[in-house]
Amino acid sequence: MPDYKTPLRDIRFVHDELLGYPAHYQSFPEFKEVTPDLVQSILEQGAKFAEEVLAPLNRVGDREGCTWSEGGVVKTPTGFKEAYRQYVGSGWPGLAAPLAHGGQGLPESLALTLLEMIGSANWAWGMYPVLATGAKRTLDTHGTDEQKKVYLPKLVSGQWTGTMCLTEPHCGSDVGLLRTKAEPQADGGYRITGTKIFISSGEHDMAENIVHIVLARLPDAPAGTKGISLFIVPKFVPDAKGEVGRRNGVSCGSIEHKMGIHGSATCVLNFDGATGFLLGPPNKGLNCMFTFMNSARLGTAMQGLAHAEVAFQHATRYARERLQMRALSGAKAPDKPADPIIVHPDVRRMLLTAKAFAEGARMLIYFCAQQVDIADRGADEAQRTKAESLLALLTPIAKGFLTEVGVESAYLGMQVFGGHGYIAEWGMEQNLRDARISTMYEGTTGIQALDLLGRKVLGSQGQALMSFTKIVHKFCKANENNAAIKSLVEPLGLLNKEWGDLTMKVGMGALQNRDEAGAAAVDYLMYSGYVTLAYFWAAAADVAAAKLAAGTTEEGFYKAKLQTARFYFARIVPRTRSHAAAIQSGGGNLMEMNEADFLIGS
């Protein structure tokens, strides 16, 4: 399998040239020491760990998978535990954690950049520490001082990991149906009883304790989502000194046999009167859990980027070496028996699609990461509110859209290899299998689409949408006379206006029939994703054109940015036409058929 190489140059382009990360960090008093040299050193060390330690284990994890034995013991693939020890020993788990809990106090956006490297090198391994990040954030936001004192130092150090326990056998995203019970005890704790499924990293041999963040119902809880509370349920209950104590009543009943990410243990967890501790207010558990879920959704968006990057890297290397047929326009390598397949237009189409999605995803996610920094640490309420509004809009787009195009990119990468892509030794079929889950967990694409259109856009009377379309509008106005990118700015401005018009039409239809929003939702999400990336590609083209005009020693790099931007607008942006047409077709074509008629002729 080809080696993974961290795209450090492109990361620096997005960080420093497109999004102005150095000035962004310097705008926070607590990040004054986060200089470009420090960031570069961290990125280089992260890249080294990803390339040299994690990437070689990627195929090992896929081939071996995790193993479950009687008693609920789960063993991770060869090398996973040792890699985790190196990860902990280097201090990576505490990179963005608060100093007060033993962390390094660095920006959350920097930790997300590290996640790209880890996920691209070995997504299955990366799921163990990334779930702990969500647990840390949830505890830090909603925990009591005593809970923070007990759990955060161990989670920050990496000695303990964490999970998110929502799904049950009878309910998936509709958590209002959950049945797991939480019975109050005389000592102030709770007895947690129930079964959770699809719990990533729910049991493993990599850390000494696992802190489960669990949704459950109190005895007097109201029905539905208004009656859900959140609990800390550790695998081992901490003793009086905060160290690993007695074994708790939570066990792994089995692990799922999955299509991909075999190195990640996806567990059925049985809570048999397990000791739990209330996290946040009673019956407000879903509100608190959204802290974890939003972190996880942005992390899953990164999976779309990771698989697109892997597909692009591996397929490009293969296409430059694989000899097959002659170019239609004449031999390009006359000294060889055939031309490398990268000369063929259709291969170029596939490679450029994966490149445009990978690099566009990087721009979008790193922009979102900046908003996380601002929402957490902004100097004033207005700044924080604006960042939160942008995140509310862009998180479902990032999760839903980027995972869909990540799967498409993985498919195209495999296709470039032809028959060899179907063979395990090249790693491309694993990349596709691993990518496929990303569109389902943390809310399917349909769930993300309903969240985007229903809750975020229509629910805010369009205010959330305008938080971003104003940015696009200002960019278009500022560059309307910029000859270098005029061919991109004009269509972007039209798309930006159409985005608002389509939103208005769907909103008016939904006032008459709420199914209209559901019928439009996925097409609306995909349309939104293509337009969002169009903005970032136009902005990247603006930077590249300015660099070329000023003179640069990296002419090839910046020309490639301009060429990819033009490809994106010419070949990818037209997809918005079919989505716009589908949105405006209404819900009748989906809802008019009688349920029984679906099976006629079967």
Other C-beta atoms within 10 Å of 246: how many?
A: 10
Q: 3-class SS at 133?
A: helix
Identify which of 213, 220, 198 has the alpha carbon closest to the alpha carbon of residue 274. Answer: 213
- Identified catalytic residue from 116, 168, 442, 516: 442
To which H or E segment does residue 104 belong? none
CB 96 within 8 A of CB 103: yes
Spatial distance between the Cα atoms of 244 and 73, rounded to a whole number of angstroms: 17
From the list 269, 268, 282, the residue with the least C-alpha distance to 183 is 282
> β-strands 236-238, 229-234: how paired?
unpaired
Q: What is the DSSP letter of 212?
A: E
DSSP 560: H
Q: With beta carbons less than 8 A apart as the criterion, state whether 369 and 113 touch.
A: yes
Q: Are strands 266-278 and 229-234 parallel, antiparallel or unpaired?
A: antiparallel
What element of type H or E holds 382?
A: helix 381-416
Q: Which residues of 373-411 are buried (b: 16+ CB within 10 A; e: fewer)?
A: bbbbbbeeeeebeebbbbbbbbbbbbbbbbbbbbbbbbb
Cα-based angle 269, 270, 272 (whole degrees, multiple of 5): 150
8 A C-beta contact, residue 15 and residue 324: no
d(CA 536, CA 242): 47
The Cβ-side half-sphere exposure at 98, using a 13 Å CA radius, reads 13
Residues 284 and 280: their CA atoms lie apart, in Å, by: 7
Structure tokens that stand for 599 in this block:
């099976």
310-330: b (≥16 Cβ within 10 Å) or e: bbbbbbbebbeebeeebbeee
What are the helix and strand counts (H, E) for the chain? Answer: 18, 11
Retrieve residue 410's tokens. Answer: 């993985």
CA distances from 466 to 401, 423, 517 (A): 19, 47, 19
Q: Which two tokens stand for residue 554?
A: 């990296």
Non-local (6+) Cβ contacts of 575 within 8 A are: 526, 530
Annotated catalytic residue 442: yes
Helix (H) / strand (E) element for 129: namely helix 108-142
Give catalytic residues, as residue numbers.
442
